[in-house]
Amino acid sequence: MKHLFFIAFINSFFLSNLFSEDIDNSFITKLEYGAMLYANPRGIGCVSCHKKGNKSVIIAKYKEINKKTKKLEEKVIIAPAINKVSFEVFLEKMNADKTESKIMPTYFLTDDELKSLYHYIKNINKK
């Protein structure tokens, strides 16, 4: 009888794991880890500029003299919506040479951190 109970327990354990591929039983889930990275990846958090990630956000407004017209023009720096960006574009922007963008900080995230962060960004507004 003990053996039968043990075999039933083992079968139920394996079957439950077999059908629960989407359940993350880690100490901290990929989504939770991504949320931590979004708040503070290493320095200024993504949330500081991108907010909830679902729409463009004006980071700053400033005035600059147009060199051609010599007139003062208002300029804006905009953080784009990031929740609909493909993984390829996300990686490109996160790993870009910072001479391309003087606004986006460099984070030096690992591949696993980037994957967790992207997973969070794609699921940030789904609740």
Residue 7 pLDDT grade (very low, low, confident, very high; cuts 50, 70, 90): low
Residue 38 lies in a domain: yes
The pLDDT of residue 14: 47
Residue 19 lies in a domain: no
15 lies in some domain: no
Token pair for residue 98? 């910072």
Q: Average per-residue pLDDT in the chain? A: 81
Q: Taking the complete model, does pTM exceed 0.75, yes or no?
A: no
Residue 71 is predicted with a pLDDT of 94
- Domain range spanning residue 115? 28-123
The CA distance from 16 to 59, in Å, is 47
78-90, pLDDT tens digit by residue? 999 999 899 999 9
Domain count, the chain: 1
Distance CA 115, CA 109 (A): 10
